Structures are given as C-alpha cells and as structure tokens.
Amino acid sequence: MQAPTTTDIQRIALINDPVLRNLTITQSYYELSQVIMARTGPVANWCTFATWASRQAGQSIRKEDLQRALEAKLDIELLEEFQALIAIAIQLGMDSSIKTRLHTLVKNSLLTRVVDQTSEAVAKGNKKVFEEIGLEFSRFIATCFGNTKFELQHCELFCQEMRAGDPPDGQQYLRRAFTNYYMAFFEQDEQLRLERLLLANLEIGFHEQTRLQPEILASLNAAFTGKEAFRKGVIDFLFPPGSLLSQLRFIYLKIIGRTSRLEAAIDKLITGLQHLVRKQITACLMTLNLPHENLLLSKDLQHAYPAALTHLSCKDLVELMARIDATPDSLKESGAEDWSDLTDRMHFITELFRCYQFDEQMFQPAFKQEQVNAMKRGVVPVGKL
C-alpha cells in the first residue's frame, strides 16, 4: 500500500466539504497505519487509533450521532421549564396554539445551532490534527523508511524541521515520538522494541490532545453559546418586531412589570436545555466505535493488558506513564469523568493504546473499497459510513 505524500496531505486538508475531507482523512490514516506496520509488524501505531477516532468524528461532522441522540433523548414539550413558559405566555394573552409553534422555534434556534457548532468544532479539530501530524507521518515515511541500517543522524535531521518546545506551540513530543519509532525499526530486544512503539504512540497522543483542547472545549460547550440571541428570538417570536400592535403590547407589559416572569421563564428554559444538551454532546463525544466493540470513554476499560505490556521496563515509557496514568498498571479509574480535562483524557487514551496495541481488529480498513474509490474521485460515498 502506498502512503499519502505530503502533497496529498496538504491537498486533503484544503478540501472545502468537511464531510468529504473527514472521510478522506480517515482513509489516509488507515493507509499511513498500514505502511508503518510494514516496518513494525502487526503492532498498532498512532495512525491505527487515529483511523477509528477520525471515523467516529465523522458521525459528529455529518451531524448524525448528536442529532439522533437529541431527537431520542430530549422531548422539549415534556420539560417542566417549557410547560411553565407556555403557561405564562397564555396568561399574557397568547393563544394556546403557541405551544407547537414555540416547540419548533426552540428546536430550530437552539438545537440546530448546537448540532451545527459541534459539527464545526469537531471538523476543525479533525483537520487541525491531520494537517500537522498526518503531514509528519508522511514526511517520516518519505525521509526515513529507506534506511536499511541504523543511522540516528538521519532521523535527527528529519526531526530538526519540527519546532522545539512543549505543545501546544512546540513539537518536542513529536520529535521524541518519531525518534522512538525509528529506533524501534532497528531494535533487537523485542520487549524494548514493543515498549518504544507504545511510547511513541503516547507521545503523539499527548501532543495531539494538548493541541485539540480548544476544539474539544468548543464542542462540549456548544450548548452554552448564544444565550442572548436565543432569548431575543423567543421574545421576538411572542412579540413580532414587525407588528406595531405587538410591540406596543410588549412595551406596555414591560412597563407594568408583567414581562419579568416571562423573561425569567425563558432563562430557566435555556439553562435547563443547555445542561441536558451538553450531557448528550458529552455522551456522543465520549463514544468510540471500534470494528468489534463500542467503547464508552467514561467507563473503565475491560480489555486486559497484552502479556508483552503487562510489566514495563523502558525508562522513558515508565516515566511518561507515571505522569499521565493515575493508576499505574491497573485499568481501575481508566474511564474519563470529564472529557474536557486533558489529564482525564490522557489517562483513558494511555490505557486504550496499551490494551489494544496488538488487537488485530484494529487493523481492519475503515471503509469498503467501493467507498474508497468514490473518495478518490472526490465524491462522498453512499451507504453506511
């Protein structure tokens, strides 16, 4: 299999359609993963995990998972806050038919906006990681794969093009990671070789997650933006700005203090919806569908450590694990309570990479060949993605 070139990576990152871009990114990760495994054997590399993370992100980008979750879990008309708002509106002289129309307004103005903003944030993060880390993998393959004997200076020259310093601005962890991949290619001690590959995966994972922090926060907090616009939208719906009579009525009610309860009810509805919607956003973003199982990222992993990684001895790996794994050599508390917390995320990701490093199911293609062919033609494939 041929790896995407740096030109391919740059071209894919510039695709305007976020859906097609994500699908092509996912396929590119798979291709990069397969090429890396040509040197490492059947051992998952960072691109292996990125394939499935990007495929999962695609559901949010296509507005599938969150849209379905909100429709299934959130019945606006049954919310106490919504019923209270309707009751106050009727007391102010609104017709009872307002209930159905207001329900449509709330769904369109709040929920549609949330789904759109979440999709945009996930797409931005997907592109951001690919055009940086995907590019470095492509460059690494083009620069270092031709080495048939160990020449560390060759790898060091490759790494010099990456920025010094810690993430989010520096790429020091990427430098370390690709150095460990390179050293693993020539390592004769099998145990040390496998641990170096895990270390490289984790170093890239730490860099990636640090860089993604703004987009993850934006995704999770999409429900908490636009509060003023939503309040204004509801008031304008009840008292249309284009209707002089309606506006005079609103001004009169405001003067005599009868709109305060209405505005308070609107704010209460907004707050209630925001917390319920964020819960669903979190549930969607904290799900990872692998080829053979679905993982809830908030739950402790149930997959045992592979025998080769049960006891770790590589000094650099042990030191990194001590920093990012709160329960060393145990899957206890591996579930992430708060996906917006970098430490929580890295704890789960550390255990995921360690547990699934040799899981052959992870090496499967993400898409059918006919779907890949469509992507290569610049077309979004049909069928289940």
Residues 252 and 259: their CA atoms lie apart, in Å, by 9
On whether residue 383 sits in a domain, the answer given is: no
pLDDT for res 77: 84
Band (25; pLDDT cuts 50, 70, 90) = very high
Q: Rounded to whole angstroms, what are the CA distances from 278 to 213, 218, 221? A: 17, 11, 7
Mean pLDDT of 14-31: 98
Q: Which tens digit of pLDDT belongs to each residue from 224-250? A: 887 788 888 888 887 788 776 666 766
pLDDT at residue 164 tops 90? yes
CA distance 10 to 131: 7
What are the two backbone dihedrals, phi and then psi, of residue 289, each rounded to the nearest 5 degrees? -90, 110
pLDDT of residue 89: 83
Which pLDDT belongs to residue 73? Answer: 79
Gap between the Cα atoms of 195 and 320, Å rounded: 12
Residue 237 belongs to some domain of the structure? yes
Q: How much is the average pLDDT of 339-344?
A: 91
Mean pLDDT of 164-175: 96
Render the burial of 124-139: b for 16+ CB within 10 Å, e for the rest.
Answer: bbbbbbbebbbbbbbb
Residue closest to 218 by CA, chosen among 334, 52, 339 = 339
Q: How far apart are the first and last CA of the chain?
A: 22
pLDDT at 230: 81
Q: What is the mean pLDDT of residues 103-130?
A: 89
More confident residue, 114 or 38: 38
Helix (H, G, I), strand (E, B) or coil at 294: strand
The better pLDDT of the pair 325, 210 is held by: 210
For the entire predicted model, the pTM comes to 0.90
Any domain includes 71: yes
Contact by Cβ (8 Å): 319, 202: no
Share of the chain above pLDDT 70, in %: 96
Q: Within a domain: residue 53?
A: yes
- The domain of 219 spans 6-377
Q: Would you say residue 382 lies in a domain?
A: no
Measure the CA–CA gap between 371 and 54, rounded to whole angstroms: 16
The string of pLDDT tens digits covering residues 287-303 is: 999 999 999 999 999 98
Burial class (CB in 10 A: 0-12, 13-18, 19+), 354: buried
The count of structural domains within the chain is 1
- Asked whether residue 385 is assigned to any structural domain, the reply reads no
The reply to whether 384 falls in a domain is no
Q: Is residue 205 domain-resident?
A: yes
